[in-house]
Amino acid sequence: MSDYDEWIGFERTATDTVSERLAEHYRLTLDAMLADGDDLPGVHWCLAPDAYPSADLGRDGHPRTGLFLPKLPLPRRMWASGEMTIAEGLRTGDTVTRVSTITDIRFKSGRSGDLGFVTVEHVYSAGGATRIREKQMIVYRDDPDPAKPQPAPPQADAWQTVRQATVETTSTLLFRYSALTFNGHRIHYDHPYATGVEGYAGLVVHGPLQATWMQNMATSLLGRPPRTFAYRGLSPLICGAPAIVEARKGDDRLELRVRNGDTNVTTMQANAT
């Protein structure tokens, strides 16, 4: 752990604008899943994406580790979970400054092997005020061992939903969202890499896209952007499977999930207030 102490507190700042082009392409990509109104829930994940020369990319198409994210001794990276507080949403024309700080690095062993977790805190400001605070966790994993098949994820339980929608996941949808976010991760477009190197059953639907569906559904049900939104990835959603986006009422919050319509496995869950 001491090898990574110097990364704690590492910070960078980026600025971007929710341009009319970006807003229009965002709306077209989300299509029926976009909430009504001027706010664009989830558009902050499209702003100021990491952009490096080709020489600075890793084998997965992401910027190589050691530039902003630390170079942990585990080759695979994925979006694990996060918690957001939202003072006000983002709209077309907003110029947004994001300050990102690495706040924690830790390791643990799980059923699938060794794991490394990096926590990054983001603060998004516009118009002189903080709009969104997000604590995001990125997980590093080892390459899969074909001799050790992963345990099957549990089936989703039955929900009494207040809203449900189905999204057809296609390679075109994945391409469009990757373009919005300048995401070069090869698991979203390179089938031989996704299956042969990282061990997935096919192309993988982006975690932020699934979280965006849930955030927009929560906004529609609440009649405003949620004040808090926490999300967690549970299982990969493979392109081609219908994504069932669902919400139900909890005691003091909305509970949301994305479910694989073919396997009835929950791929991502969230709650919103």
Q: Write the pLDDT tens digit of every residue in 203-227.
A: 999 999 999 999 999 999 999 999 9
Q: Write the pLDDT tens digit of every residue in 38-85.
A: 999 999 999 999 899 999 999 999 888 888 888 888 888 888 999 999
Q: What is the CATH number of the domain that holds 36?
A: 3.10.129.10
Q: Write the pLDDT tens digit of every residue in 86-102.
A: 999 999 999 999 999 99
Give the pLDDT confidence score for residue 113 in this predicted structure.
78
What range defines the domain where residue 222 resides? 2-272
How many angstroms separate the CA atoms of 245 and 225, rounded? 17
Q: Which residues contact 5 (CB under 8 A, 6 or more apart)?
A: none
How many domains is the chain partitioned into structurally?
A: 1
Q: Is 99 exposed, middle or buried (0-12, 13-18, 19+ CB in 10 A)?
A: middle
**Residue 1 reports pLDDT greater than 50:** no
Q: Which of 206, 200, 165, 215 is nearest to 184 (CA)?
A: 206
Q: pTM for the complete prediction?
A: 0.94
